[in-house]
Amino acid sequence: MTTVHGGLNDAELRAHGLARADVLDFSSNVNPLGASPLVCKAAAEADLSAYPDRDCLQLRETLAARLGIGVDHLLIGNGSTELIHLLARACLAPRDDCLIFTPTFGEYDEAVRLCGANVKTRPALEATGLSWSIPQAVREIETTRPALVFLCNPNNPTGAYLDRDAILRLSDALDPSGLLAVDTSYVPFADHAWNPTPLLGLGNIALLRSMTKDHGLAGVRLGYLAAQPPLIEKTRRLQPAWSVNAVAQALGVAALADDTHVAAARSVIRESKTYLYNQLAAIDLPTVPSATNFMLVRVGDASRVRQALLRRGIAVRDCTSFGLPAYIRIATRRLDECASLVAALRDLPLHD
């Protein structure tokens, strides 16, 4: 099984006679302002001739100080995807059960299946606004006793965002040996965000985080896992040497020094989200309320709409692979770019 992701595909673009520079990419949920100037400066100054620090010590120290946890609570990875796969290998044996809150990022499922473990799902239903029933999820965890639970919060692609109480209820329902892995990659863009780091003290929660979303580093591949030291060490032993290159490490440190850049992106996202909600409603395209920097839009035939938009130089995410063939997912970009998307959608012959 090949996991489907957002982002531009060069072969597909060539088939349409397009280059990357020709396309407005709403399919990737990244900082609409791109990378910080501090990050670009660090990239130019990185020493390409030296081996990277295998332990990513400077970046871990910078993160530890920022998060208020020990350096031994952190593992840096080649994007959160690498860490998802390493964590699954560290926690799952063949035929173990893993519960995944769906629809969601496809790499959780892929990582579990590669371990030979069983995938159980807790689906969100369209009838309930693509949200989960926490009481039902608690009962399922208590009944199946999964060794691992994957939850993306805020969730990709729905934008659903569970509060602290809901996470605590899921944690309490776990078997003593179970682990709740919460992917917090979209927290920096969340409305009314809350800090999940103190939950690490419970011992049965691990936090995953991509640094490519909020810092606009999708081409670099950088993320981290925060957890109790025994799990960090167990996961670290599975990681290949020099997994995180020197440029990525330098850019991570630089990105963490520029909170202003992320704050500016949040301002752009707030303005663009309001615009998109209003404009899409005006052309009778229903949206799913989202707590973060992307939204689902019901367009009828997502694959057809995606192709029609791509021919106009606009990329959106077809959510068929999430089990939502009537929806596209659009990231929030600058206001003028969002206006171009709305104009293109207005010109399409849409029907449900």
The per-residue pLDDT for range 144-169, each reduced to its tens digit, is 999 999 999 999 999 999 999 999 99
> What's the distance, CA 277 to chain centroid?
22
Neighbours of 48 (CB within 10 A): 7
Name the CA radius of gyration of the chain, rounded. Answer: 20
Return residue ranges of the chain for CATH 3.90.1150.10: 10-35+260-347
Whether 84 and 114 have beta carbons less than 8 Å apart is answered as no
- Predicted TM-score (pTM) of the model is 0.96
According to the model, what pLDDT value does residue 351 have? 56
The DSSP 8-state label assigned to residue 125 in this structure reads B
Question: CATH number of the domain at 10-35+260-347, please?
Answer: 3.90.1150.10
Q: Contact, 225 vs 77, CB < 8 A?
A: yes
Q: pLDDT by residue (tens digit) across 263-303?
A: 999 999 999 999 999 999 999 999 999 999 999 999 999 99
Q: Residue 331 is which amino acid?
A: A
Please give the CATH architecture assigned to the domain spanning 38-257.
Answer: 3-Layer(aba) Sandwich (3.40)
Q: In terms of Cα–Cα distance, which of 277, 284, 150 is closest to 208?
A: 150
Q: Where in the chain is the domain with CATH 3.40.640.10?
A: 38-257
Which residue ranges of the chain lie beneath pLDDT 70? 1-2, 351-352
- Residue 16 has a pLDDT of 86
